Amino acid sequence: MGMFDKFKNLFQKDQKEEAEHYHIGLEKTRKEFTSKLNLLTLKHNRIDDSYYEELEDILIQADIGVNTVMQFIDQLKDRVKKENILNASDLKEVIVDEMFIIYVQNQIIVNKINYSENGPTVILFVGVNGVGKTTTIGKLAYQMTSQGKKVLLIAGDTFRAGAVEQLVEWGNRVCCDVVSKLEADPASVIYDGLEKAKNENYDVVLIDTAGRLQNKVNLMNELDKINKVIGKIIPGAPHETLLVIDATTGQNGISQAKSFQEITNITGIVLTKLDGTAKGGIVLAIKDSVGIPVKFVGLGEQKDDLRVFDIEKYIYGLFEEMDVEK
């Protein structure tokens, strides 16, 4: 059974609702991407250099990233040679297969949150302003409270009144307490919040931080200080540091990922607004460029539209309308 058939069977069984989120969220990318691939196959009966060149362009336009595309094309050429594939129509399923392989890279991909066995689980959120950090925290808090967890929010972006207000508003919407203090030292607010979390037996603490990347040294110092405070109050924390990136910013998002990786230890990526771009290939590019797994994707505006990222559902959502040969 081919990779595509495997995905198809998976979603026909018991995951239709979840697959539907990917179907809707990837609509812009799918329309752009699969229509071009289908046209490419119609245009080329045989697999030749011009086929590969055009395929390369389609993949780069989907924001998969030049380096990732080159690696992908090389792997595809190897498969074509080994399996003696001659027709472009026979190559479609191999493309699906190789996309999966290029994301996974023979690794065990962990997309779940690393929950602490003792005391509160602390999740730190980083990312530049405007990427949807606070909204992501609100949506994740909604998910976790729906699962019966006691969640505390900490407004660590203390110098931007809008950020504090937005987090308080989310706290009201999802019935979570918020610890905040405008214009205070972020580390001191986080200290107060974590003491509260420990004393009042919270399950999870979600911490918002400032998003200034213009001066990397200042941000690095601030995050170092925050990490020390967190580790002092709750040993082994933060249990996750999630980098939030706006999918619509494309390759700029990859630059942000590389910059934040230099500043602090990132354990996972949250890709917001994936439904708002026709360049959903950014998922593959980010994982390949920085080696950090995508843990969540934002597939809409509603509070339940933040989904745990699943590479199989993503690839199925991308290719489901493509005429893959059985």
* Whether residue 250 is found in the same domain as residue 198: yes
Does 164 reside within a domain? Answer: yes
218 and 96 housed in the same domain = no
- Answer with the one of 107, 140, 164 that is the final residue of a domain: 107
What average pLDDT score do residues 130-142 get? 96
Indicate if 134 and 102 belong to the same structural domain: no
Q: Which of 107, 137, 163 is the last residue before a domain boundary? A: 107
Same structural domain, 159 and 50 = no
Domain boundary among 52, 80, 107: 107
Q: Is residue 69 part of a domain?
A: yes
Region 258-282 average pLDDT: 94
Domain annotation covers residue 322: no
Q: Verify that 213 and 300 share a domain, yes or no.
A: yes
Residues in CB range of 97: below 8 A, 6 or more apart: 2, 3, 4
Per-residue model confidence as pLDDT tens digits over 182-236: 999 999 999 999 999 999 999 999 999 998 887 889 999 999 999 999 999 999 9
Query: In terms of Cα–Cα distance, which of 292, 288, 306 is closest to 264?
Result: 292
In a domain, 91, yes or no: yes
Considering the domain boundaries, does residue 326 fall inside one? no
Regarding whether 156 and 38 lie in a shared domain, the answer is no
Tell me: do 90 and 215 sit in the same domain. no
Q: Sorting pLDDT into bands at 50, 70 and 90, what band is 137?
A: very high
187/54 Cα distance (integer angstroms): 51
State the pTM of this model. 0.92
Q: What is the overall mean pLDDT for the chain?
A: 90
Chain centre to alpha carbon of residue 210: 19
What residues contact residue 88 under an 8 Å CB cut-off, 6+ apart? 40, 41, 44, 45, 46, 47, 51
| 112 within domain boundaries | no
Number of domains in the chain: 2
Residue 260: give its domain's CATH number: 3.40.50.300
Residues 42 and 172 occupy one common structural domain: no
CB-based burial, 21-54: b 16+ in 10 Å, e otherwise: bbbebbbebbebbbebbeebbeebeebeeebeeb
Q: How far apart are the first and last CA of the chain?
A: 9
Which residues on adjacent β-strands are paired with residue 244?
270
- Residue 326 pLDDT class (50, 70, 90 cuts): very low
- 159 and 101 belong to one structural domain: no
Residue 16, domain CATH: 1.20.120.140
Q: How far apart, in whole angstroms, are the C-alpha atoms of residue 138 and residue 143? A: 9
Closest CA to 104 of 311, 290, 283: 311
Q: Same domain for 173 and 290?
A: yes
Give a yes or no: residue 323 inside a domain: no
CA distance 142 to 137: 9
Give me the domain span that covers residue 217.
121-315
Residues 13 and 50 occupy one common structural domain: yes
Task: Verify that 201 and 300 share a domain, yes or no.
Answer: yes
